């Protein structure tokens, strides 16, 4: 399975206060990540994927509870968000085979999870539109970061090691696949999350949503058993 082509130019132009807050917050976090990780893309992927796997589960939980209370249809949002959360966790399980986090990074992951989960949950309750917009912007940055990771591999600064087994099973990659093939499908996943979340934010904002322009999700196994 080859990764779908990714449109790198997609950017939601911020309109209104909520979008500007979401964009400003994302750019501030980008600055922190760039300062902390510099070009250690394997480590960067591990730490940031532990964060990226949170919003989908929060959004799914809150929408699930809302649909139960209101006894209404979810229009497919819950399953989409749960698949996003699992997909991000599989990114983590893949990159943990490529790089090993330091003790300090493990401590950062624990601290950040407490703060980010609670803050994102609260934000989603107050403004789900802003929450999805933030994820859309996070994913724009993720597409950019994985593009830079590809450049590191192509220019020989990161070794193009064989693809981890778990990645080959999850994305159905052929034998002989490498880290480069994995980063390509991960980047395509991020582009899909980007467009889905900007689409959700637009829908909540009453703006038109062009579903045909959502980047396709690469094939992935939705029933993988990690212990298999
Ligand atoms: Fe990811
Ligand atoms: Fe993502």
Q: Does any domain span residue 1? A: no
Q: Does any domain span residue 52? A: yes
Q: Does any domain span residue 156? A: yes
Q: How far is the CA of 194 from the centre of ligand 1 (A)?
A: 11
Q: How far is the CA of 141 from the centre of ligand 2 (A)?
A: 9
Q: Does any domain span residue 8? A: no
Average pLDDT of 94-99?
95
Q: Does any domain span residue 7? A: no
User: Among all ligands shown, which has an atom nearest to the Cα of 183?
Assistant: 1
Q: How far is the CA of 189 from the centre of ligand 1 (A)?
A: 7
Q: Does any domain span residue 220? A: no
Q: How far is the CA of 167 from the centre of ligand 1 (A)?
A: 13
Structure pTM? 0.94
Question: Do 113 and 54 meet the contact criterion of CB atoms below 8 Å apart?
Answer: yes
Average pLDDT of 54-59?
98
Q: Does any domain span residue 73? A: yes
Q: What is the pLDDT of residues 138-194, one digit of tens each?
A: 999 999 999 999 999 999 999 999 999 999 999 999 999 999 999 999 999 999 999
Q: How far is the CA of 142 from the centre of ligand 2 (A)?
A: 7
pLDDT of residue 39: 86
Question: Do 73 and 67 meet the contact criterion of CB atoms below 8 Å apart?
Answer: yes
Q: Does any domain span residue 102? A: yes
Closest CA to 12 of 189, 142, 201: 201
CATH of the domain at 105: 1.20.1260.140
Closest CA to 145 of 153, 156, 165: 153
Range of the domain at 102: 16-213
Q: How far is the CA of 10 from the centre of ligand 2 (A)?
A: 15
Q: How far is the CA of 16 from the centre of ligand 1 (A)?
A: 27
Domain tally, the chain: 1
Closest CA to 128 of 55, 65, 79: 55
Q: What is the pLDDT of residues 181-226, one digit of tens each?
A: 999 999 999 999 999 999 999 999 999 898 899 999 999 988 755 5
User: Among all ligands shown, which has an atom nearest to the Cα of 194?
Assistant: 2
């Amino acid at each position: 399975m080859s990764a779908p082509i990714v449109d790198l130019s997609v950017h939601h132009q911020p309109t209104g206060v909520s979008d500007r807050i979401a964009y400003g917050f994302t750019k501030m976090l980008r600055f922190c990540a760039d300062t902390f990780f510099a070009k250690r893309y394997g480590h960067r992927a591990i730490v940031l994927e532990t964060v990226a796997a949170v919003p989908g589960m929060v959004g799914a939980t809150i929408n699930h509870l809302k649909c139960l209370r209101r006894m209404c249809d979810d229009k497919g949002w819950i399953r989409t968000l749960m698949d996003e959360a699992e997909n991000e966790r599989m990114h983590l399980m893949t990159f943990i085979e490529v790089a090993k986090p330091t003790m300090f990074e493990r401590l950062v992951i624990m601290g950040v999870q407490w703060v980010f989960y609670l803050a994102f949950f609260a934000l989603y309750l107050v403004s789900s539109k802003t929450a999805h917009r933030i994820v859309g912007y996070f994913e724009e940055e993720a597409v950019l970061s994985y593009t830079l990771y590809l450049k590191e591999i192509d220019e020989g600064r990161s070794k193009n090691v064989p693809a981890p087994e778990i990645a080959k099973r999850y994305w159905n990659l052929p034998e002989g696949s490498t880290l480069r093939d994995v980063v390509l499908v991960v980047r395509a996943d991020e582009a899909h999350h980007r467009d889905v979340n900007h689409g959700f934010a637009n829908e909540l904002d009453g703006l038109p949503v062009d579903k045909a322009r959502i980047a396709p999700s690469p094939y992935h196994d939705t029933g993988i058993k990690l212990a298999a």
